[in-house]
């Protein structure tokens, strides 16, 4: 049975685990906060279920525990960081924090990060911008190759997520966080845990054929799923993310990003890109917020299609999930719980369940 665990207790546990695994207290706390933000928002694919993955990499020495995170090129509106193979969460957090500070000065900032690691959900960093009045945030990352270009036989690209967060006035903000593949790999992992088939078009088997069996799934399709439904567009968007996070950042591109369980445990070479846009260098903020309210309100109150209940704005489901989980705890699947118990035992920590 899936149990519910309070967010704060899981956060204390994960912080303790990351500290025992060698991270500084600050990096452990930042990493725990961001890892659990996935569960809090309902991205069960990217949260506590993957704690063992990060722990495994930390224990194996694949991540630099005391990195020299630094800017290697900088102008008022741009900055390129080198994460020195540090933990992805804290490297990305520092990059976005600085990106926002620079945008407060220059009106805009584009920041890249090279030689980082898996950074959890893209959306966390985008929503950091919402802590400032009138700031739009954008976050992207590359990752290990899983996505097969249209008409190709092998995986070359990562799920290359794009996340953005746009403030509104009275309405809740617009927040999107999604892979440019049809689905993220975590959705296959969830289907496996639940022993459920997946829709045709999400994934390809070892021979490159579409499959509905999550255990046969090996590769993912670009958004659009099939050439006829324009999967070349998802492919192109993945390439845009790749160029910003890989070539522009000065790192490697997805095909050469490492870090999955099955691969050699060296530095992953993951890259990220962030943008922060200060609205009031384009127009008065109050006007912008009122216009955002108009659009988001009209969409949220739109007439539903036959058989549908309501029209959503990106971020609405995550907002509702967050309310529920902060009040009632994060659901932990039995298979995930078993992994957590194993980690707790090894580190002589008590699991808050």
CB 71 within 8 A of CB 81: yes
Instruction: Give the one residue of 4, 70, 310, 346 binding a second copy; rule: CB under 8 A.
Output: 310
For a second copy, the binding residues in 22-61 under the rule CB under 8 A are none
Question: How far apart are alpha carbons 353 and 337 in whole angstroms?
Answer: 9
Task: Quickly count: other Cβ atoms within 10 Å of residue 308's Cβ.
Answer: 9
How many residues in the shown chain lie near a second copy by CB under 8 A? 83
Q: Max CA-CA distance within the chain?
A: 56
Shortest spacing between CB 152 and a second copy, in angstroms: 4
- Specify the residue, 62 or 168, whose C-beta has the smaller distance to a second copy: 168
Residues within window 67-106 making contact with a second copy, judged by CB under 8 A = 73, 75-78, 80, 106
Within residues 183-222, the interface with a second copy by CB under 8 A covers 183, 199, 201-202, 207-208
**Per-residue x/- mask for a second copy, residues 224 to 263, rule CB under 8 A?**
xx--xxx-xxxxxx-xx-xx--xxxxx--x-x--------
Report d(CA 46, CA 112) in Å as an integer: 22
Helix spans in 5-60 (H) = 7-20, 25-41, 51-59
Residue 156 touches a second copy, criterion: CB under 8 A: yes
Is 6 one of the binding residues for a second copy (CB under 8 A)? no
Q: Using DSSP, state whether 79 is helix, strand or coil.
A: strand
Nearer to a second copy, 35 or 147 (CB): 147
Phi, psi of 297, rounded to the nearest 5 degrees: -65, -45
Candidates 7-15, 53-61, 262-270, 297-305: pick the segment binding a second copy (CB under 8 A).
Answer: 297-305
Residue 74 and residue 97: Cα distance in Å, rounded?
A: 15
Rounded Cα gap, residues 25 and 85, in angstroms:
18
Q: Does 130 bind a second copy (CB under 8 A)?
A: no
């Amino acid at each position: 049975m899936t149990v519910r665990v309070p967010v704060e207790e899981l956060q204390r546990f994960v912080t303790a685990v990351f500290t025992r695994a060698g991270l500084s207290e600050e990096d452990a706390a930042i990493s725990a906060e961001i890892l659990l933000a996935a569960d809090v928002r309902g991205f069960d694919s990217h949260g506590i279920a993957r704690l063992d993955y990060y722990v495994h990499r930390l224990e194996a020495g694949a991540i630099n525990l005391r990195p020299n995170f630094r800017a290697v090129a900088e102008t008022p509106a741009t900055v390129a960081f080198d994460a020195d193979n540090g933990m992805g969460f804290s490297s990305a957090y520092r990059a976005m924090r600085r990106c926002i500070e620079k945008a407060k000065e220059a009106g805009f900032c584009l920041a890249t990060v090279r030689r980082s690691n898996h950074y959890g959900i893209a959306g966390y960093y985008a929503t950091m911008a919402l802590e400032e009045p009138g700031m739009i945030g954008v976050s992207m990352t590359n990752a290990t190759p899983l996505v097969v270009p249209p008409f190709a036989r092998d995986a070359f690209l990562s799920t290359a997520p794009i996340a953005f967060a746009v403030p509104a006035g009275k309405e809740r903000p617009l927040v999107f966080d999604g892979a440019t593949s049809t689905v993220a790999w975590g959705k296959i992992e969830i289907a496996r845990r639940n022993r459920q088939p997946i829709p045709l078009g999400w994934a390809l088997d070892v021979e490159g054929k579409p499959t509905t069996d999550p255990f046969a799934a090996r590769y993912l399709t670009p958004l659009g799923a099939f050439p006829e439904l324009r999967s070349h567009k998802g492919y192109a968007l993945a390439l845009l993310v790749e160029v910003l996070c890989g070539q522009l950042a000065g790192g490697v591109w997805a095909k050469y990003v490492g870090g999955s369980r099955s691969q050699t445990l060296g530095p992953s070479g993951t890259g990220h890109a962030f943008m922060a846009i200060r609205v009031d260098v384009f127009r008065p903020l109050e006007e912008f917020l009122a216009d955002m309210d108009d659009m988001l309100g009209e969409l949220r109150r739109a007439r539903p299609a036959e058989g549908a209940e309501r029209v959503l704005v990106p971020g609405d489901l995550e907002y509702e999930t967050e309310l529920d989980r902060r009040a009632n705890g994060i659901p932990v699947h039995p298979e995930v719980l078993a992994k957590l118990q194993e980690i707790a035992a090894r580190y002589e920590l008590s699991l808050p369940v």
